[in-house]
Homo-oligomer: A and B are copies of this chain.
Amino acid sequence: MRTQPLKVALLGCGVVGSEVARIMTTHATDLAQRIGAPVELAGVAVRRPGRVREGIDPALLTTDAEGLVKRGDIDVVVEVIGGIEPARSLILAAMENGASVVSANKALLAEDGATLHAAAAKHGVDLYYEASVAGAIPLLRPLRESLAGDKVNRVLGIVNGTTNFILDRMDSTGAGFAEALDEATQLGYAEADPTADIEGFDAAAKAAILAGLAFHTRVTAADVYREGITEVTAADVASARTMDCVVKLLAICERGADGTSVSARVHPAMIPRSHPLASVREAYNAVFVESEAAGSLMFYGPGAGGAPTASAVLGDLVAVCRNKLSETTGPGESAYANLSVRPVGEAVTRYHLNLDVADKPGVLASVATVFAKHDVSIDTVRQQGRDGDATLVIVTHSATDAALSATVAELRGLEIVRDIAGIMRVETQG
């Protein structure tokens, strides 16, 4: 074993960073054995150097992140700051100075992964980011390495723990969205400003990363169709329950049947309770991968949290350090397939709708005619009457988003249709 240590700079020392530093210290012997050389924490860039950080030598703390990555003796930079800037500039500076990078930064990878990958290739260093999607769950390495000899057709996942916690609570207690969000906030599952989670931005960034790796193409967060869960009501969840379904916020990445396109979308959807993803409770994450030869695989585990995310960071750190020692790099960006990203209007799913209609003869026929006109085929209709009103609960066969939207628009114009609620996609494949 080499005795000269590899030097690691840590950018950010919050929940994840402090856990990374802690494990680097407590598990130093194991890490050295697995890498083939000791690793040394050479500097920690923080915003508040005055704060006491247990187990970290105060002499390592600096507010000068740029100076740290440009020091020249750093082998690996671990970036757990998050956000676009200054993270991007720091990573690029680190690479320019010959350091490999381990990042947990989903937002940056999803927005501008191409720039980072290009810089890594140019400077002959590694860029690893397992921790950016689904916390500790080994997912990116399986996608980019284990399944490298297979053809992935679909990735379907619960990749945001906050929203899964909220939807799980709504399902198990009958609570409304606001009440469930309150509980998530109190228990620390939701941040003070929960926008990124509940509006689906976090999941969309992860969907972009997953789609890129799964299909060997470039997908950015802006390419991902996104709907959050703020409009999911207790009535929607109850409606799903009567169909033996559960509502989940899904990230869905699919290869187009034409072979030249992909789609990526994040939205709430009803899935059957028998689907393995339906039993993913609380803040857990799980991702289903459907590929040609391997069939259906599922990866399940904690999707966030300091220690789980640190586990993913350290797995990458070991790999990157091993590569440094053997003077090589791991797999870089694989975007050769160069597929186009289809708009959500072309995405094909089934839909659930509740129509409040006048309870008189011929209503169903009129409604059915509108569906037929737009080529949206109806799978089931359940009619619930009450005092002159009736509710039609309709589930369609697979249809495009565009066809469904046109159908809904025309239905809204019918005099006999008083309201349309509970419009939600139903995912039954996989």
Q: In the complex, are the beta carbons of A147 and B334 less than 8 A apart?
A: no
Nearest B-chain residue to A30, judged by Cβ:
B151
Contacts of A138 in B (CB 8 A): 138, 141-142, 145-147, 297
**Which of B130, B149, B294, B327 is in CB contact (< 8 Å) with A302?**
B294
Contacts of A150 in B (CB 8 A): 23, 136, 311, 314-315
Question: How many copies of this kind of chain does the complex include?
Answer: 2
Q: In the complex, are the beta carbons of B295 and A307 less than 8 A apart?
A: yes
Contacts of A276 in B (CB 8 A): 279, 300
Q: How far is the CB of A215 from chain B (nearest CB, A)?
A: 11
Contacts of A298 in B (CB 8 A): 298-301
- Known: A138-B138, A141-B141, A329-B326. Is A31-B149 also a contact (CB below 8 A)? yes
| A317: Cβ under 8 A from any B Cβ | yes
Contacts of A315 in B (CB 8 A): 145-150
Contacts of A314 in B (CB 8 A): 148-150, 293
**Which of B296, B301, B322 is in CB contact (< 8 Å) with A294?**
B301
**Chain A, range 150-168, C-beta contacts under 8 Å to B:** 150-151
**Chain A, range 282-303, C-beta contacts under 8 Å to B:** 291-302
Q: How many residues of A contact B (CB 8 A)?
A: 59
A279–B279 alpha-carbon span in the complex (Å):
10
Q: In the complex, are the beta carbons of B279 and A27 less than 8 A apart?
A: no
Contacts of A336 in B (CB 8 A): 33-34
Q: How far is the CB of A322 from chain B (nearest CB, A)?
A: 7
| A268: Cβ under 8 A from any B Cβ | no
**Chain A, range 244-282, C-beta contacts under 8 Å to B:** 276, 279
Q: In the complex, are the beta carbons of A23 and B146 less than 8 A apart?
A: no
**Which of B146, B300, B311, B326 is in CB contact (< 8 Å) with A130?**
B146
| A331: Cβ under 8 A from any B Cβ | yes
Q: How far is the CB of A429 from chain B (nearest CB, A)?
A: 17
Contacts of A291 in B (CB 8 A): 311
| A395: Cβ under 8 A from any B Cβ | no
Residue among A23, A142, A279, A326 with most chain B CB within 10 A: A142
Between-chain CB contacts (< 8 Å), 30 pairs:
A23-B150, A23-B293, A30-B151, A30-B337, A33-B337, A34-B149, A34-B216, A34-B334, A34-B336, A138-B146, A141-B141, A141-B145, A141-B146, A147-B315, A149-B311, A149-B313, A150-B311, A276-B279, A276-B300, A292-B307, A293-B307, A293-B310, A294-B312, A295-B302, A297-B299, A298-B298, A299-B300, A322-B331, A323-B328, A328-B328
14 further A-B contacts with Cβ under 8 Å, apart from A136-B150, A294-B302, are: A23-B150, A33-B334, A34-B148, A34-B334, A146-B315, A148-B315, A149-B315, A149-B316, A294-B308, A294-B311, A295-B301, A296-B302, A299-B299, A300-B300
